[in-house]
Amino acid sequence: MSTIRLLVGLGNPGPEYSQTRHNAGFWLVEQYARMHGHTLQPDTKFFGNSTRIQKGGMDLRVLQPMQFMNRSGNAVASLANFYKIAPEEILVAYDELDLPPGVAKFKTGGGTGGHNGIKDIVARLGSHDFHRLRIGIGHPGDKSKVTGWVLGKASQADQLLMDDTITEACRSIDILLQQDMRAAQQHLHSFKAQREK
């Protein structure tokens, strides 16, 4: 059994951002909560929306920080400190420029990849040791176009790829919680391989 106790999805609050690529992490936690019959509720104590999913041996808190991407760490650290959740018991889902739409990958620790949400979480937790779930959104090809890209809407084709991947990623999180990281990674990898056939 994995010891993940907190699942975080990164994005920006507000209707003007809800359909933008940068909100892939929000989409994931909303869908994950739905799959388990929950909805995320405003939780001002932790600067975001949250829910708690308890099933079998699973006791998972799900969090959507609502203070804009570059201040995501505030919500994460507040909840983690309150419930005494260690960095290595946290999984953070977010958009990844370096992966194409249709691909998602787990990763443990490492750098921030220039992602403002991850940077702030590292700063607030004082640790790089949390797990990440990177959801591919593709790259516009030029550094100067990155801001417009992440804050823009994906094409219909790319959106469908991302939606499918998020569904599989949610299933992989269940596998991670019931088994371990390796089994979860294998599930995501086999999903990608099947689609490429």
Residue 171 is given by DSSP the state H
Element (H, E) at 49: strand 48-55
81 labelled binding-site residue: no
C-alpha 37, offset from chain centre: 19
Q: Are 22 and 12 a contacting pair, CB within 8 Å?
A: yes
Q: How many residues does the chain have?
A: 197
Interstrand relation of 104-108 and 131-136 (parallel, antiparallel or unpaired): antiparallel
Q: Which of 22, 115, 131, 187 is catalytic?
A: 22
Cβ pair 9, 64 in contact under 8 A: yes
Give the burial string for 91-102 (b: 16+ CB within 10 Å, else e).
bbbbbbbebebb
Tell the residue number behind the tokens 């569904």, with chain if given: 167
Please tell me whether 82 is known to bind a ligand: no
Active site residue 36: no
**Does residue 78 sit in helix, strand or coil?**
helix
Chain Cα centroid distance, residue 27: 8
Q: What is the DSSP letter of 83?
A: T
Q: Is 130 annotated as a binding residue?
A: no
User: What residues are labeled active site?
Assistant: 22
Would you list which residues are annotated within the binding site?
17, 68, 70, 116
Would you list which residues are annotated within the binding site for tRNA?
17, 68, 70, 116
